[in-house]
């Protein structure tokens, strides 16, 4: 099943070794639109990225010698290379945020300890199921933000360039850990139960940890009573782009026995960025082309959009794209 759905996409997973100009000048503790609650919510998630990416690539690498399909095995190697580069760039961003006074190191340590525990005490096959689950979460977040670049309208361009490169590659490889796990473990009922248990466990543990991390960072930053900022965060989560509003329709299908990540085929979206990057070799230019394409798609989708302060691109936002 996994092979028939994804084999023609295996050669599309490419490790693009890009280093971004992230500095104290453009990365600060309220980097997301200069808004505390939005920044802290997303930063709490990104705090887990470096260790999570390194653990995930190791979980996949451990299964590669059990993978029978050479296409899956080859793309598994490319996946590992991508994740290593992602971890490196997010290490830089997290370190700069810590320097600016937000104690992400205190958030990173529990995540690191958790991944270390899993590495030592959980079977290789179960780690593969957990990795497939974690990749589904990142694909969900990437999918929503890819369709809403206007959400970052007041964020420093270099941060946005980095994030959209990451969103594209997370989408590009969203089926890899799933296919590695499926091919190595077998497409039988026991493997399905392991996959479902992995997702349920990841959700049950991850959601409270993220929530506690957000509350701690807001408290430390003295932002708990910043009601206008809280409203803006809830708009991001439940209005537009509506991360939580969209999460159900993208999350729940994982529990179907017949599920595959490419059931939600959004290659059209990422191929715009990828084609532009292949021509220019410049992630900033690729992002500009991507935003222009998204802007052109908005009128067709406008009637279906949730009522939100983040409207389809206005002329003012188009100027931001062209800047």
CATH code for the domain in which residue 239 is found: 1.10.620
Instruction: Assign 277 to helix, strand or coil.
Output: helix
Is 182 domain-assigned? Answer: yes
Is 283 domain-assigned? Answer: no
Alpha carbons 169 and 138: distance in angstroms, whole number: 10
Look at residue 273 and tell me whether its pLDDT is greater than 70: yes
Look at residue 2 and tell me whether its pLDDT is greater than 50: no
Distance of CA 221 to the CA centre of its chain: 25
Count of domains for the chain = 1
Residue 300: pLDDT band (50, 70, 90) is low
Is 286 domain-assigned? Answer: no
Is 159 domain-assigned? Answer: yes
**Residue 24: φ, ψ to 5°:** -60, -30
Q: What angle do CA 315, 288, 91 make, to 5 degrees?
A: 120
Q: Where in the sequence is the domain holding 218, given as residue range(s)?
A: 2-265
Distance of CA 252 to the CA centre of its chain: 17
Is 290 domain-assigned? Answer: no
Is 62 domain-assigned? Answer: yes
To the nearest 10°, report the CA torsion of 192, 207, 103, 20: 50
Percent of the chain with pLDDT over 70: 89
Min mean pLDDT across 29-43, 121-135, 297-311 is at: 297-311
What is the rounded average pLDDT for all residues in the chain?
88
Is 203 domain-assigned? Answer: yes
pTM score of the predicted model: 0.88
Is 271 domain-assigned? Answer: no
């Amino acid at each position: 099943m996994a092979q028939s759905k994804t084999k023609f996409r295996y050669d599309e997973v490419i490790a693009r070794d890009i280093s971004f100009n992230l500095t104290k000048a453009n990365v600060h503790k309220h980097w997301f639109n200069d808004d505390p609650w939005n920044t802290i919510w997303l930063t709490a998630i990104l705090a887990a990225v470096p260790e999570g990416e390194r653990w995930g690539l190791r979980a996949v690498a451990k299964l590669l010698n059990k993978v029978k399909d050479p296409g899956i095995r080859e793309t598994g190697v490319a996946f590992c290379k991508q994740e290593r580069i992602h971890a490196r760039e997010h290490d830089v961003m997290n370190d700069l945020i810590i320097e600016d006074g937000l104690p992400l190191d205190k958030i990173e340590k529990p995540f690191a300890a958790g991944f270390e525990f899993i590495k030592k005490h959980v079977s290789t096959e179960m780690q593969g199921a957990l990795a497939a689950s974690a990749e589904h979460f990142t694909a969900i977040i990437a999918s929503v933000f890819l369709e809403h670049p206007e959400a970052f309208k007041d964020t420093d361009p270099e941060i946005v360039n980095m994030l959209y490169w990451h969103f594209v590659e997370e989408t590009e490889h969203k089926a890899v850990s799933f296919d590695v796990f499926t091919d190595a473990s077998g497409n039988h009922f026991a493997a399905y139960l392991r996959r479902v248990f992995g997702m349920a466990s990841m959700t049950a543990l991850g959601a409270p940890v993220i929530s506690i991390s957000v509350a701690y960072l807001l408290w430390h930053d003295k932002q708990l009573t910043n009601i206008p900022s809280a409203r803006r965060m809830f708009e991001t989560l439940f209005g537009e782009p509506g991360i939580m509003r969209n999460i159900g329709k993208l999350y729940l299908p994982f529990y179907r026995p017949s599920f595959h990540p490419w059931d939600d085929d959004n290659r059209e979206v990422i191929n715009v960025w990828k084609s532009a990057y292949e021509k220019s070799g410049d992630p900033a230019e690729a992002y500009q082309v991507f935003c222009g394409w998204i802007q052109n798609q908005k009128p067709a989708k406008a009637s279906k959009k949730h009522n939100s302060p983040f409207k389809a691109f206005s002329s003012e936002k188009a100027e931001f794209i062209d800047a």
